[in-house]
Amino acid sequence: MSAQPMKSNSENRLLFWSTVLMATLVLLLFFWGLGSLSFLSLNEARRAISAREMHASGQWLLPYMNGDLYLSKPPLFYWLELISSQLLGSVSEWSVRLPSAVFATVCCLAVYRFGVKLAGRQVGMYAVIFLAANAGFSLFARRAEIEMALTGMVFVAVYAAWQFLFQQGSRAWALLSYALLGFGLLTKGPVTLLWVIVPILVYALLTRDSRAKAYLSYIPGWLLMLAIGSSWYLAVSLKEGWGIWSAVLQEDIVKKINGSGAETWYAYLQYLAGDFFPFWLILLVRPRQLWQDIRSNRELMFLTCCCLVPLVLFSFFSEKHAKYLLPTYPAIVLLLAWQWAKVLAAIQGKWRHVLVWLPWILLCGFVLFYSCFEARVFAHRIKAFPEVDKAVASYPGQPFYTIGSPDIRLVYYAGRHVTPLTIEQVQQRSASPGLLFVTEPLPVALEGLKSCTLARFDPYLKRKRAALLIGLGSTCQAEHLSVP
């Protein structure tokens, strides 16, 4: 741990109130208006539907989506959504997004504690600001997706491992780290190990650190991780048979590692440059000195391994998404904050003012965007869903159809299973009561159903696209016809 110079009482008071302000802004960013918007992504709706169907059935073992068994992801995030929904009384946008906001907060707390112990309160504070004022992190902190829960578990596992390695922590810290990895396996699967175990292994090989070797060879920790992480997989296999996993392995592991349509190897560098702009520019200031610091400081070497090893590994995967590296973001901001504080201490004049105020300005900008402008920016993507909810609710018990696979958000807001049909199947069922949802323009073969339009939604997902809700059979009645 680096020795920190003694600070005056006025500097300590300034740091204290700055930390209070930072915490207030971060909580506003993560929680303000969390449930005020309809689901913005397909993944959000997938998580919400699975939670709702598990809630309705009263069984938590097997996730379903639109009535079909859905084992693509382990269920821990669904369980967290269910707990949140039971506490709040119903499954809603607020209840299913709450776990992400909570884990984002936990992650920031761990980052702050890590930064304070590493190099003082200033580093801890800047690290949290860099993390919150990050396009990717702040987005997933407010979304009902598994990435933020996974990031929180992974980084707290890293923090616990760091306590064991560098703070002479007891084996309880190692056990906590492995337990969190077990819960990570129940959130994302075996890929979780690439963010913790493999970086620590590389660190151990580079430094010959005996504590790192003790962590990696801690058998009770491995047994605890495997007991937690394999529990659900074992239960499902005993119930459904071991062959149930073949399709999941092919779709979620094989294709992502060696699928078609691979992006360039440097795609992740572009994602990181966008999410961490402009803070990453500090790495261009005295880079040689930073490299010397990393080589001479094992804690910085540890953080560097936690950043670079997953980056290299995931760069070999065919399927690349910025969110796959989200669990590395806390380690990245700690390195950036270290460098930021060192440069700040060495400069004067206008550039010092820039380094002091720029993080605060960007953090306030993110808070302002999510509290005031997000709904306006994405209005075309969400405007139709409350209207769909209201329109479909007027026809309880009616079967609901779409032409082709439905947008999974439509399934959530329809409040019932949605059956995909071909045009020929629609024609065959047109005499039976039901509801048909179709985007405009209506297929020529179904033009005769246009007079049975019950509601029109404009825009629907895109600014220049609309959709129709059409009544089939006896549902097509004159008193219900309404074309806004």
pLDDT tens digit string along 88-106? 988 999 999 999 999 999 9
pLDDT computed for residue 333 by the predictor: 98
For residue 85, give every residue at least 6 positions away whose Cβ sits within 8 Å of its Cβ, in sequence order, or none.
51, 55, 91, 92, 95, 96
pLDDT computed for residue 326 by the predictor: 97
Q: What letter represents residue 190's amino acid? A: P
Under 8 Å between Cβ of 400 and 38: no
Q: Which long-range contacts (CB under 8 A, 24 or more apart) does 167-175 make?
A: 167/117, 171/218, 171/220, 174/214, 174/215, 174/218, 174/221, 175/220, 175/221, 175/224
- DSSP annotation of 445 reads G
For 21-77, the pLDDT digits (tens) are: 999 999 999 999 999 999 999 999 999 999 999 988 888 999 999 988 888 889 999
- DSSP annotation of 452 reads G
Q: What distance in Å separates the CA atoms of residue 390 and residue 51, rounded to the nearest whole number?
A: 21
Q: What is the CA radius of gyration of the chain?
A: 25
Which segments of the chain have a pLDDT < 50? 1-3, 478-484
Which of 328, 325, 279, 277 is closest to 302 using CA atoms?
A: 328
In three-state form (DSSP H/G/I as H, E/B as E, the rest C), the secondary structure along 108-139 is HHHHHHHHHHHHCHHHHHHHHHHHHCCHHHHH
Q: What letter represents residue 461's amino acid? A: L
Q: What distance in Å separates the CA atoms of residue 182 and residue 331, rounded to the nearest whole number?
A: 20
Q: What distance in Å separates the CA atoms of residue 13 and residue 11, rounded to the nearest whole number?
A: 5
> Hey, which residues does 69 pair with through a beta bridge?
64
Measured from the Cβ of residue 24, the count of other Cβ atoms closer than 10 Å reads 11
Q: What distance in Å separates the CA atoms of residue 177 and residue 184, rounded to the nearest whole number?
A: 10
Across the beta sheet with 400-403, the strand order is: 418-421, 400-403, 434-439, 467-472, 453-457
Q: Token pair 């500090």 is at which residue?
A: 282
Strand 467-472 and strand 418-421: the pairing is unpaired
Q: What distance in Å separates the CA atoms of residue 333 and residue 335, rounded to the nearest whole number?
A: 5
The helix or strand, by DSSP H or E, that contains position 467, with its residue range, turns out to be: strand 467-472
- DSSP annotation of 396 reads T
Q: What are the sequence ranges of the domains in the chain?
A: 9-377, 382-480
Q: What letter represents residue 444's amino acid? A: V
Under 8 Å between Cβ of 114 and 123: no
Q: What are phi and psi of 483, to 5 degrees?
A: -115, 100
Under 8 Å between Cβ of 383 and 461: no
Q: What distance in Å separates the CA atoms of residue 229 and residue 244, rounded to the nearest whole number?
A: 18
- DSSP annotation of 460 reads B
For 252-301, the pLDDT digits (tens) are: 665 666 655 567 888 999 999 999 999 999 999 999 999 999 999 999 99
Provide the terminal-to-terminal Cα distance of the chain, rounded to the nearest Å.
Answer: 67
Q: Which two tokens stand for residue 103?
A: 């884990």
Under 8 Å between Cβ of 142 and 34: yes
Using CA atoms of 43, 44, 50, 53 in order, give the dihedral in degrees to the nearest 10: -140
